[in-house]
Structure 1
């Protein structure tokens, strides 16, 4: 018996764990208020009409010509005399008599006397006769018939004037800069004074050169003689250049 109970206990499945219960459903505290507002704003007769409708009386039936417009009642004559109008027309008054016009004859006369319409120009581009209006096609020379055709636009002339003015201002500024940097010319009086001074220096150096000894046996004598010769040569070159050119320019250093 013990073995049978042990076998039964081994074959039985394990007990299931207890599942927790579901939480209570959420209910808003404004639920009753919303229901009341929804019922309050509804109108019961909005689509179907009232529950009971007043039935018309059988005496109030629709009579004949009751819906036709009625004219105002005529004024009765007072004491057997007719009522006169408020104002009597003058003797020169001529009433306007409207004559019916015959529009058929009028239209016929207008067509006979009218100028015939010109046919619209077309452009045919295929041999099957496919055509399209000529004016919007771009083949009609419209622009050459304008009054201002070939005339330079105002903005172009204005731009050219501005460019020309800028070029003139630039040239004037360049000339002014060149004038500032240009070399100065010697006057005739300054030229003669410089020439006299050079000749005087040449005479003094030549006099010193003539006073040198004939025999130059030392190094100092040779160097002194060469210096005098170079000075004489430079002075002769300067004197010849000044005598040759009348206009002499001096650059600003």
Structure 2
């Protein structure tokens, strides 16, 4: 079946000439809005109606663009430069320094009242207000009672209790520390040596020095052994220490010594 549709069977009538049939044209499309469009086309219109004026003033041929007309020009001087006297700031003579006997001008008064002008010139900060009705009634919040006033509190201006407790604790700690330092200072304090004790110690030092000096004088003139040399060095060292102590006690009349534990 498919082959017959693609290749129909041969027939003798197919050899007969066939007249060409003319195709009929479809009717031309006409818009239904054509009468309105024709009427709108016949209306009175002006060109470039929405783009600005159609007729503009043409430039005059006399007002052509001239040379250097677009360059910026300096303003004309009202006064001639010849009449203006200019002075150099470096060579200009400055006013003289006032003398020592010149007195300043005193008693100059003005009629301006600065106490009245200053509040007017300084912008005032608007007072906070509250609008409480739909008609715009406004009242100042300062004395309305809607804002808390801390100066009206019962404990206003008084020291809080916790600060008093802290101050008391700090005071007790400071007293305890001062007592402790005082006790330590008294414990480590030096006591004054009396004149009797000083004289007794000085006398004992001199007697000891005399005794060592007697032993030193008893040494032989020729010292050739190690023991004799050691004895001599020990005696000289002890005598030097005693001389320093005696000199110290004789120089200072007032002597402080640590307390016995």
When the two structures are superposed, what TM-score results if normalisation uses the length of structure 1?
Answer: 0.41
When the two structures are superposed, what TM-score results if normalisation uses the length of structure 2?
Answer: 0.40
Q: Which has the higher helix share?
A: 1
